[in-house]
A = this chain, B = another copy of it.
């Protein structure tokens, strides 16, 4: 078989896999958004069957043969060509997916279903002890998974690599450690500041129907195209790329708080813009039509949510609109007061409710714990104690119970070790990219003030989205900004912003 034929067959097979994945995505979206509860059992069976089918079709030895036939041929001699990137990343995925014994994968999947249930129960009862044996089991299985993958550095590496391909602890730990101590310092300055915004402005009644309209206005303004998507309600908001021309977002509305829906929606729209900017149709199912990593994905959502959505230029444009729509609650409120209120910083227990400054501290705490857990340096029974003592050190708050501590997140019960740090990586990259965009686009802030946000979306599309997986995260960052992962732009941005708001 000639390499060209092999490549074509690969395109066909991967394209068909993409259709199945697209079908799966609709089932998932429906499951979270509209499915009647009576359908849960049937849906679980359908999704499990389809997922198994997708997996089997991908790990088919024929896929390996085809990749092997193309590898080393002239088709991939230019390492930056579409073909080379596709073959490189398919090889990577194929090898990783086939390295895990089937029994281990099944055992993990079975256990996480049960553990998830036990975790939810334990969290409700604020009872870590009840969850402990399940967490123990999950950790053991996850460590077996790491061993099966293999690693050069430490066992956490291949887990992190699942979400951030090509990344390893060594390449991020130093940056994350510095970020943590600088954030703790900044938080101290904020806590001690004499001037404080008044957060009660956003804790007023905000009509949900109007919040929905306002959210859609904002999404459309930043370039989310409702012809190719829709905004629905979900308990745990998410973005889902169903296929070319269909990228959906979800949010949740709090009738008494302005921040939740709007910033959540902008966040998801940021993810969606990445998905919409991928050349998914041209490279159906191929790495060139897919996103790079969770970190890069998060850099897009967080840039729109924070560096754009929580900025003064953004609200210079949108505050008058918000004021006219929510006149009852925003009457007499100035832009300055509003800007302060939406950026109010306060240490709190729950990650998903955290502000821009403390959010990363939540992540870094988890990363440090995860790493020690997987290494075997931290026993399962010691997790709550270790969590609470670190929490007090970073946040200056005593954890009152485990539902406000180590039981709060779903990730560990779902065996998602290695996932958390990608949130921090996303925040770091977001500031690096945004810094560069400000240099590349003249008067970016002025444009925002006039409501022109599309210019940034185009920059992102051009510099990041359209490349699919041509480059790994670090390399992409180097190509765009001149340097790899670097927390300095993020800290500089936060220091300047909060010094102004808190007057220090």
Interface pair A22/B36, CB less than 8 Å apart: no
CB closest residue in chain B, given A45 = B19
Interface pair B38/A228, CB less than 8 Å apart: yes
Cα distance, A385 to B24, chains bound together (Å): 49
Q: Which chain A residues numbered 209 to 259 have a C-beta less than 8 Å away from chain B? A: 225-230, 232, 242-246, 248
Cα distance, A243 to B246, chains bound together (Å): 25
Q: Interface size bucket, A side?
A: 35 or more
Most buried by B among A16, A46, A49, A225: A46
Cα distance, A232 to B23, chains bound together (Å): 21
With A27-B23, A30-B26, A30-B30 as known contacts, state yes or no: A245 contacts B46, CB within 8 Å.
Answer: no
CB closest residue in chain B, given A28 = B26
Interface pair B45/A246, CB less than 8 Å apart: no
Which among B34, B38, B45, B227 is the interface contact of A38 at CB below 8 angstroms?
Answer: B227
Interface pair B227/A36, CB less than 8 Å apart: yes
Cα distance, A227 to B230, chains bound together (Å): 25
CB closest residue in chain B, given A244 = B42
Interface pair B19/A242, CB less than 8 Å apart: no
Q: Please tell me if A35 contacts chain B, counting CB pairs below 8 Å.
A: yes
Q: Please tell me if A472 contacts chain B, counting CB pairs below 8 Å.
A: no
Cα distance, A43 to B246, chains bound together (Å): 9
Q: Which residues of B contact A41 (CB under 8 A)?
A: 244-245
With A26-B30, A36-B230, A229-B38 as known contacts, state yes or no: A19 contacts B246, CB within 8 Å.
Answer: no
Cα distance, A40 to B29, chains bound together (Å): 17
**From residue A446, how far is it (CB to closest CB) to chain B in Å?**
32
Interface pair B22/A246, CB less than 8 Å apart: no
Interface pair B40/A245, CB less than 8 Å apart: yes
Q: Which residues of B contact A248 (CB under 8 A)?
A: 36
Interface pair B22/A227, CB less than 8 Å apart: no
With A38-B227, A228-B36 as known contacts, state yes or no: A243 contacts B30, CB within 8 Å.
Answer: no
Interface pair B46/A19, CB less than 8 Å apart: yes
Interface pair B23/A245, CB less than 8 Å apart: no
Interface pair A34/B227, CB less than 8 Å apart: no
Interface pair B22/A243, CB less than 8 Å apart: no
CB closest residue in chain B, given A37 = B227
Q: Please tell me if A50 contacts chain B, counting CB pairs below 8 Å.
A: yes
With A16-B49, A23-B23, A26-B26 as known contacts, state yes or no: A42 contacts B230, CB within 8 Å.
Answer: no
Q: Which residues of B contact A232 (CB under 8 A)?
A: 34
Q: Which residues of B contact A38 (CB under 8 A)?
A: 225, 227-229, 245-246
Q: Please tell me if A332 contacts chain B, counting CB pairs below 8 Å.
A: no
Q: Please tell me if A153 contacts chain B, counting CB pairs below 8 Å.
A: no
Interface pair A39/B242, CB less than 8 Å apart: yes
**From residue A216, how far is it (CB to closest CB) to chain B in Å?**
13
Q: Which chain A residues numbered 133 to 165 have a C-beta less than 8 Å away from chain B? A: none
Interface pair B226/A36, CB less than 8 Å apart: yes
Q: Which residues of B contact A242 (CB under 8 A)?
A: 39, 42
Cα distance, A35 to B42, chains bound together (Å): 22
Q: Which residues of B contact A243 (CB under 8 A)?
A: 39, 42-43, 46
CB closest residue in chain B, given A242 = B39
> What 8 pairs across the A-B complex have the smallest Cβ distances?
A39-B246, A38-B228, A38-B245, A42-B243, A19-B49, A38-B227, A19-B46, A39-B245
Pairs across A and B, CB under 8 Å, 28 listed: A16-B49, A19-B45, A19-B49, A19-B50, A20-B46, A22-B42, A23-B24, A23-B50, A26-B30, A26-B46, A30-B30, A34-B34, A34-B230, A35-B246, A36-B226, A36-B227, A36-B229, A36-B230, A38-B227, A39-B228, A39-B242, A39-B246, A41-B245, A42-B244, A42-B245, A43-B243, A43-B246, A46-B243
